[in-house]
Chain A
Amino acid sequence: MSEERLAEFMARIERGEKIEATDWMPDDYRLAAIRFIQMHALSEVMGAFPEKEWVPKAPTLARKMSLMAKVQDEVGHGQLLLRVAEDLARPLGKGREELIQELLEGKSKFHNVFHMPAPTWADCGVIGWLVDGAAVISQAALLQSSYGPYARILQRVCAEEGFHIQHGESICLALAEGTPSQRKMLQDALNRWWEALLLFFGPPETDGQNAQVLLKYRFRTKTNEQLRQKYLTKYVPRIWSLGLTLPDPELRYDEKQGRWIYTAPDWSKLKAIARNEGPLSQYRLALRRNSYETTRWVREALTGKAVVA
């Protein structure tokens, strides 16, 4: 890789140009992009599982259909994003089979929030409301990504998140305005999820080579802390306005510093989750692995030579 090519590439980035799948790109850009997009894609795929648990138990037909449509979108986003990752990974000889195997073997990660349990209907609502809310904060920032195919597909993804946000708020508003035990169910779910939501954006010191590479090449343009602060600004007042509380006595907006002050969550939990040692990591990976294995014969039939003329 010549210095000249790299300098030219950086100049393109600095001019705000988009990089396409077939363009020349430095190896570290390609690898960092694949890793990031693959994790995003696999998170969408794994993200279907906590919510699909509640489809059979949704308390009205309207909620049942709405939740089915939301889960369908998550799987759909996984598909759209995997396609982007596949095109980037093609020169490395990797296709969808390999990218999924990396998930099943623990080599590729998925977001912490999808390793967490969803024990009540309110958890299902909180996921739609606050997990999707966090995802949109992150995805909206990535609309500026230097990687063209990713920025493009995120337009469709973000548009569909619009429905997710409303769906989640609809469920939670009904609980917030419901009976005392419905309100308690919602408050309990909030208390359970708050730490995971803070962890979602990653640690404040954007440490690690990968994070630096992503920012240098403007694949990402915002840091973890910037995104988390935006999330708190959008959502904390909203949560408080419903008379709900959050399990952090330090949580407040500091006017002088122009930022939210919060108790640091336990960042080490992210490391455990990266090793797939979260509360439901293995259970959910097993669902994916089992379904993948028990339907292997189906995929083989889809392209096999016809055995009967």
Chain B
Amino acid sequence: MAGYPEFQVYEVFVQSTQLSPHTWVGSIDAGSPEDALILARETFLRREKAVSIWVVPADQIHGTDYEDPDFFAQETDKAYRLTSGYTADNARRWRKYKRELLDIEKDFVKD
């Protein structure tokens, strides 16, 4: 329930550049999605640049329960799926061959 008769709560997501994801910034009460888009611009983007706004009726958001932190439990070692799970060992081996570790940013993206 938003408040004014039949207004709805819309959750607002803003995308700052086309390379960024839409990020939740807050919510507004509005009478329709078109109104919500127009209102959201000034409620949340008076000082920030953006390329896109999404508004979603609040009752369409499905979410996890804060009181169930175990939903997110990561208790056992997951180094096997991290870069850092391999770098120490590989670096040690490559030193014998006078080679450096490869780095995604340095060697593939920027080079």
In the complex, are there CB atoms of A and B closer than 8 Å?
Answer: yes
In contact, A97 and B31 (Cβ under 8 angstroms):
no
In contact, A97 and B3 (Cβ under 8 angstroms):
yes
CA distance A20 to B35 in the complex (A): 28
Q: In the complex, what's the smallest C-beta–C-beta distance from A156 to chain B, in angstroms?
A: 7
Cβ of B16 within 8 Å of any chain A Cβ, yes or no, is: no
Which of B7, B31, B66 is in CB contact (< 8 Å) with A96?
B7
Which of B1, B2, B5, B66 is in CB contact (< 8 Å) with A23?
B66
Cβ of A234 within 8 Å of any chain B Cβ, yes or no, is: no
In contact, A22 and B2 (Cβ under 8 angstroms):
no
CA distance A24 to B65 in the complex (A): 11
Residue of A with least CB distance to B67: A23
CA distance A20 to B69 in the complex (A): 13
Q: A residues within 8 A CB of B30?
A: 302
User: Interface size bucket, A side?
Assistant: 20 to 34
Interface string of A182-195 (1 = CB under 8 A from B): 00000000000000
User: Interface size bucket, B side?
Assistant: 20 to 34
CA distance A160 to B43 in the complex (A): 12
Q: In the complex, what's the smallest C-beta–C-beta distance from A53 to chain B, in angstroms?
A: 22
Cβ of B6 within 8 Å of any chain A Cβ, yes or no, is: yes
Residue of B with least CB distance to A76: B43
In contact, A83 and B29 (Cβ under 8 angstroms):
yes
Residue of A with least CB distance to B44: A156
Q: In the complex, what's the smallest C-beta–C-beta distance from A99 to chain B, in angstroms?
A: 7
Cβ of A72 within 8 Å of any chain B Cβ, yes or no, is: yes
A198-224, CB < 8 A from B: none
Q: Which B residues are closer than 8 A to A by beta carbons? A: 1-7, 9, 26-32, 35, 42-43, 46-47, 65-67
